[in-house]
Amino acid sequence: MKTLKRSLGLLKRKLGRMVEIKAGILLHQPVAAREGAGIPGAQLARASVYRPDLDYSKDEFTRRNLRQNDLYELLVDRRPVCFGWVARAGARVGILHDIQMTVPDRAFYIWDCVTPPEYRGRGYFQSLLKQLVSSRDTGANLALVAVDTRNTASRKALAKAGFQPLFSYLSIRVLGRVVLAVANRGHRLSQAQILFDQLA
């Protein structure tokens, strides 16, 4: 019995490595000035210059900047407590597996957000999001963000920060090759890439 369980576990792990099924949701909200966005005393700042304490190599930081991405951080008592990258209009971004998106005109796309483990659960991500969508700095009128359907903490923070789902998508990769990538908008199924292309 033990041997059978172990073999089944091994098979499951092998299959898991061969077949990767991932799903996500694209969310949006208008950018507009709002009073009292975020936690009092927490400030949003753009990290325009590389610092060694950032969790990215200098090359990666520069590469992202050159591809129209800016790093924002939320500062509490001048200490960074949450980070998020923002891709500007025209940037080409990867969404999931082979699915990509060109950020539409007058929009920005928030991605690769992280709250270091010691600061999690204090509303810092929500505060970063709220300040981003109420900032006039970007000149944009629409904020977009994508989230893995299994990321409960992120989904909760995004909903509390006012983001609404636009559509959901699913991609299946077998042995490194995408075999299916579909999106569901208003109960209509289409090829995921087509729907993302229509946003531009």
Contact set with ligand COA (CB under 6 A): 82, 113-115, 120-126, 147, 151-154, 156-157, 160
Strand order in the sheet with 19-30: 43-47, 69-76, 79-87, 107-114, 142-148, 19-30, 164-174, 177-185, 188-191
CA 198, distance to chain mean position in Å, is 19
For residue 142, the minimal CB distance to ligand COA (Å) is 17
Beta-strand pair 79-87/177-185: unpaired
Residue with smaller CB distance to ligand COA, 76 or 191:
76
User: How far is 102 from 167, CA to CA, in rounded Å?
Assistant: 16
For residue 186, the minimal CB distance to ligand COA (Å) is 23
For residue 112, the minimal CB distance to ligand COA (Å) is 7
For residue 36, the minimal CB distance to ligand COA (Å) is 16
Residue with smaller CB distance to ligand COA, 8 or 153:
153
Residue with smaller CB distance to ligand COA, 114 or 174:
114
Encoded tokens for 185: 């908008």
Residue with smaller CB distance to ligand COA, 61 or 124:
124
Please enumerate, as own/partner, the contacts of 48-52 that have beta carbons within 8 Å and a separation of 24 or more. Answer: none
Residue with smaller CB distance to ligand COA, 7 or 151:
151
For residue 56, the minimal CB distance to ligand COA (Å) is 14
Distance, first Cα to last Cα, the chain:
55
